[in-house]
Structure 1
């Protein structure tokens, strides 16, 4: 259905596509891209008229999408302004992955900390001076399991890995599960996107609790801190097989916690610009389904045996919960969340008829 051709009261539920906000793009760009995917190519003027967003934000969002190759312009001679055509979601996500890899390669160049010195390793033998060299990954995992079994405050982690191997990921999923089940808060800063969850393929269940997570372009080191008392980091960041250094010296641990906090504060909450999760109650779902089929507020109210004022209140409540400014945005948001299935046929205007 062309943009702008829907009935005044109807809600058009968009197909669900991956969120560009999870890849660091603005909420405006994400909304404009969803609009173009749902309704087809449009000019800036058409987007401004239908999306219900100030023109300057439409222009900025279009520029952002064009800069990442998510849309392309077409300028027919019969029109004064170009029409913007969306690229397929799979193509856009592949482009965003390439951009993320390039950012990581640029920002991490020369930032890896040097290996732990021989002098520091010598002082770490047998746990002297609050230092201990855990010579293998297995010993490190065992020590972490021991500490996390009695942790009461929080578990902090910085993960600079671009991908997780099974040897590290499977134990990590198990440890996350145990720590979270004990009510201990977990905060993780990483360089990968929150969705899709990279640990799903290593045993994490889709609906189970996950650590609080923020994404950033780069991190200087791998780090784990338990209860702000004991920290772990690789002896050699380029060779994890050489094991980890366990540090219990409070000035050092405090400095490492400060390093984590600085990266946590500067990193992006992956849900900051994402559409919040929502579950519709039966009346909300029935109303939205009627409106997607082309009903007006009046005919939907008659069908549900409620007043038009109640219909308005239900929709206003949904828009407030989803941060939508109008029904157009509400439909896009509901489709994104799969809260209501898009209709399989084009909506019909039922403003003057009752449904049976």
Structure 2
């Protein structure tokens, strides 16, 4: 992050791999390969300041879900392969499909003769039919609404449909509990969750969620056939035994989840001074020229970066740049900052 270091070229937001069960080293190595293209094992280790063994372990973790691939034949001792990271959008799809299985049991039940079914189930064939049914059920709901949303990114269109329904439920004093994933899309869902909390709704976040489902007054449950493609439709259950099983599934994940505004760990928020320092160093300034530009001492620049590295849990400035690069859009400061300005 000082002068002479190559600039990052991250396009889409890089997923936080520890949320998907991978190590922090794997997260850094993937970000490096996405940013700078194919690299050898030794090149990655040298740039990140990690030992070769740690880098190889990280690459093995990334290779298992096919987030990275080796390019050509290993060189030298046979350990220095060249590695290529798959694009971010493909990585997100891969990770989601590993974490969000389909609901094969419901399909098997639906294919049985009616007399052989243990509980009632019907298939709503597509997204439009599912939304119509949700609107019907929300209208008559009177006690409790439970929802589980495994998506890491909620589209504006989907949120525009869901938000008015959620608010209408809360205004009717229906108890609302919503489970979601930590968002990576500019926190649209977080803003909605804050609004729900103001109206008395409850929202928690979990690292992984198995299904996309809604439960209405513990009488009817809707479960997406494929959580990643709602065009495949939804299964509707109304048998008390089936619905109770889904309620218990929801409550089990609810208990393990955290409130991002209370018990959970919030995303790192940079102070104006930290943003200014990061922006200038990302442009190629040295500590000295950044300090002159901001009217600060060189020691203050060092302390600001050291504090950020400790908060994020990285070991050097290059790792810090990778960790922050996909999360913040740094812009050059418009005003200078004095030594005491940390607001």
> For this structure pair, what is the TM-score category when the shorter chain's length is used for normalisation?
0.5 to 0.7
Distance 2:163 2:329 in 1: 29
2:71 — aligned with what? 73
Aligned-partner Cα distance in 2 for 1:269–1:70: 33
Query: Once the two structures are superposed, what CA deviation does each residue of 1:24-59 show, in whole Å capped at 9, x if it has no partner?
Result: 362432321211232343322332233234544321
Alignment correspondent of 2:138: 144
Question: Residue 18 in 1 paired to residue 8 in 2?
Answer: no
Residues 1:188 and 2:179 aligned together: yes
1:222-270 deviations in Å (ceiling 9; x for gaps) = 44155xxx342259x89989966386xxx99776532223355689999
1:63 corresponds to which residue? 60
TM-score after normalising by structure 1: 0.59
RMSD of the TM alignment (CA)?
A: 5.3
8 Å CA contact 1:13–1:334 kept in 2: the answer is no
CA distance in 2, matches of 1:89, 1:241: 30
Q: Equivalent residue of 1:157, what SS?
A: strand
**Greater relative contact order (Cα < 8 A, sep 6+):** 1
Query: Judging changes above 3 Å, is the alpha-carbon distance between structure 1 residues 176 and 30 closer, same or farther for their aligned structure 2 residues?
Result: farther
Give the distance between the partners of 1:139 and 1:305, measured in 2 at CA. 60
* 1:297 to 2:291 alignment: no
Is 1:209 the counterpart of 2:192 in the alignment? yes
Aligned to 2:322: 332
The answer as to whether partners of 2:314 and 2:320 remain within 8 angstroms in 1 is yes
Aligned residues: 295
Would you say the 8 A contact 1:10–1:291 is kept in 2? no
Deviation for aligned residue 1:289: 2.8
Q: Distance in 2 between matches of 1:81 and 1:269?
A: 44
Rg larger for: 1
Q: Distance in 2 between matches of 1:38 and 1:260?
A: 38
> Does structure 2 conserve the Cα–Cα contact (< 8 Å) formed by 1:224 and 1:233?
yes
Matching residue within 286, 293, 303 for 1:313: 303
Alpha-carbon separation, structure 1, partners of 2:330 and 2:289: 19
TM-score norm. by structure 2 comes to 0.60
2:292 and 2:174 map into 1 onto residues whose CA distance is 48
How do 1:1-356 and structure 2 match up within 5 A?
12-21=7-16, 24=20, 26=22, 27-67=24-64, 68-75=66-73, 81-87=79-85, 89=87, 93-94=89-90, 97=93, 101=97, 108-110=103-105, 114=109, 141-147=135-141, 155-158=145-148, 171-178=161-168, 186-188=177-179, 208-210=191-193, 211-214=203-206, 216=208, 218-219=210-211, 222-224=213-215, 230-233=218-221, 245=238, 256-263=246-253, 277-340=267-330
Distance of aligned partners of 1:288 and 1:77 in 2 relative to their CA distance in 1, 3 Å threshold: closer
Name 1:125's counterpart in structure 2.
Answer: none
